[in-house]
Copies of this chain bind each other. A is one copy, B any other.
């Protein structure tokens, strides 16, 4: 009889290992198994931002199990990997284990954990999610720039596609957070050059490579990494 089988979705926060919650760390310490996501590159190289955070907590590493998603691929391959990972999770669940699946940032905000959550919900498994610090919350903290006050409106826009979309956002909202900006800097530049905004650019937050600036020219000199975002305030 299964008595303790449970799956936790645990948010690790945006990079600094001390930005996990007490609750999240306690679950990792008590878990029988910890699944973490990573990236598998064409060259065969693997990397995992989650693992680099996990390594700070002095956990029993024999509990660790990585699932490395292939980069530059069709969704088919990613889905196969999720299916395979979920089969392992089902086995663990049926062994009555306490399972943690970790996620960078917040487990519910742009997290690939959500694909596993769909499967977990379909199986009616016992599941609990532990929220986490988002990268845009850390950006606000590092830039000393509040996201919203009183009745201000906040919008989070990943990979903004058109100038019109961004212009409308800036017209109707007090704070606009742009995520996944790497490939759309031309759109962002065109709009920002036309107005007078407060800009906060943040790169690799919570790591030793953290870089922040409010200067648009400086932003444009950067080789913008995936872990970057821009917060714009009127």
B residues less than 8 Å from A144 (CB atoms): 117, 121, 127, 129
Copies of this chain held together in the complex? 2
CB < 8 Å neighbour of A129 from B13, B108, B141, B155: B141
Say yes or no for A39: interface residue by CB 8 A criterion.
no
What DSSP secondary structure best describes chain A's contact surface? mixed
Given contacts A19-B23, A20-B22, A133-B132, contact A108 B158 (CB under 8 A): no
B residues less than 8 Å from A157 (CB atoms): 153
Within 8 A of B (CB), among A134-177: 134, 137-138, 140-142, 144-159, 173
Q: Cα distance A17–B23 when bound, in Å?
A: 9
Within 8 A of B (CB), among A105-133: 106-111, 114, 117, 121, 127-133
20 A-B pairs in the complex with CB atoms less than 8 angstroms apart: A16-B23, A18-B26, A19-B22, A19-B131, A21-B133, A22-B22, A22-B25, A106-B133, A108-B147, A109-B146, A110-B148, A121-B144, A127-B144, A131-B140, A134-B134, A150-B158, A153-B155, A154-B155, A154-B156, A155-B155
